[in-house]
Amino acid sequence: MTDPVSSELLAFLESLWKTRSLTRAAELRGLSLSTATRLIAEARHVFGDPLFIRGGSGMVPTPKMTGLIRRITELLDGMRTLAVTEPLDPARFTGTVRLAGVDNSIFAFILPGMNTIYRQAPHIRLSFCSLGDRFLESLETGDTDMAFYAPPGLKTGPGFHTAELFSSGHVLVTRAGHQLQKRWEEKGRLTAADLAPWRRLAIGYGHDVGRPRSAESQIGEENADIAFDMPYFLPAPFILAETDFIVRLPVFTVRIFSKHFPLFIIPGSEKHLPVWHPVMVWHERTHADPTAQWLRSLLITGIRERFRSVTEEFSPL
């Protein structure tokens, strides 16, 4: 009996053909290196050929693999379009798409593309919920269609896709007129000793990972004296307006806030804080869905255009 050939195996071989690297093919497919190693061993058994051998320029395809790649691509293309019976018409779409993230995601990632989305699909409903600690499972089961995630070290596992949206540093911020601002104007610099007496507002990024929310938020500031801990970004400027707290925020978020609130951005703080790499995450379940592809494209385009415009509008912090 001939061994069955799975779509996962074919997709992996296609990725390996494109990248000529076992590691990069695994990353492209969202697989662990051990899974990728298992798949190449399975493929060699099924096809009775090494398929790829190691060479100076990476994984070099054998003549057998060169002969197979066209058929593999045709089969995968057929699978991707199997259920598509007519072109996508967003204007006729009446369904609900479920999004997840922290509250900052609404104006940072959804609002930039919102007008275009509703103009093209006037009957669509976008439903937003908080990013729970089981959000990957929610993407897989269909309770959520896509999520926005920022903390470092996200491990998705097989079947998940991510797209990096932009990169943004962090800065320390307090209200305009704070004593730290006056000290900066007098001395022309601020030291760690100047910051130490002032308590912090801590904002949790993403889901609870079994540690205090502040630990996730205050990377690089482990000794900060946290006065108030919350999972929300949007109340931050209101809290700063009525307290002497300091808060760490992404530069992109601060640039938006500073258009509406009087803030003091602590000079030089960006150099000592981590860079933010927010990503959009979705599952293979919706990867080839035309409506999901259309929505992801509009959101990503809107996000990156807004980021560019905000970056150009504001001088470096």
Q: What is each CA distance from 140 to 101, 130, 314, in whole angstroms? A: 16, 16, 39
Return the structure tokens found at 144.
């959520």
CA–CA gap between residue 10 and residue 159 (Å, rounded): 14
Q: Domain extents for the chain?
A: 7-81, 90-166+277-313, 170-272
pLDDT band for position 256 (cuts 50, 70, 90): confident
Tell me the DSSP string of 216-264: HH-TT-TT--EEEEES-STTHHHHHHTS--EEEEEHHHHHHHTTTS-EE
The pLDDT tens digits of the residues spanning 188-225 come to: 889 889 999 999 999 876 444 333 444 344 444 556 78
CB neighbour burial string for 158-196, b if at least 16 within 10 angstroms, e if fewer: ebbbeeebbebbbbbbbbeebebbeebeeeeebeeeebe
According to CATH, what is the number of the domain 7-81? 1.10.10.10
Q: Among all chains, which residue has been given the structure tokens 């598509």? A: 84
Question: Among positive and negative, which fits the CA dihedral 188, 193, 199, 204?
Answer: positive
- Tell me 151's DSSP state: S
pLDDT at 86: 64
Intrachain domains 7-81 and 90-166+277-313 with the same fold: no
Residue 310 has pLDDT above 80, yes or no: no
Residue 294 has pLDDT above 80, yes or no: yes
pLDDT at 55: 79
Alpha helices in the chain (DSSP H): 7-19, 22-29, 33-47, 63-81, 104-105, 111-120, 135-141, 179-187, 192-195, 213-217, 236-241, 251-257, 284-287, 290-313
Question: Among positive and negative, which fits the CA dihedral 219, 224, 228, 233?
Answer: negative
Contacts of 43 (CB under 8 A, 6+ apart): 9, 12, 13, 51
Of 51-55, 180-184, 189-193, 255-259, the range with the highest mean pLDDT is 180-184
CATH topology for 170-272 is D-Maltodextrin-Binding Protein; domain 2 (3.40.190)
Nearest alpha-carbon partner for 13 in 55, 64, 57: 64
Residue 174 has pLDDT above 80, yes or no: yes
Q: Among all chains, which residue has been given the structure tokens 């150099």? A: 271
Of 23-37, 78-92, 208-222, the range with the highest mean pLDDT is 23-37
Nearest alpha-carbon partner for 21 in 48, 63, 56, 66: 56
**Higher pLDDT among residues 86 and 92, named by residue:** 92
- What is the pTM for the complete model shown? 0.64
CATH superfamily of 90-166+277-313: Periplasmic binding protein-like II (3.40.190.10)
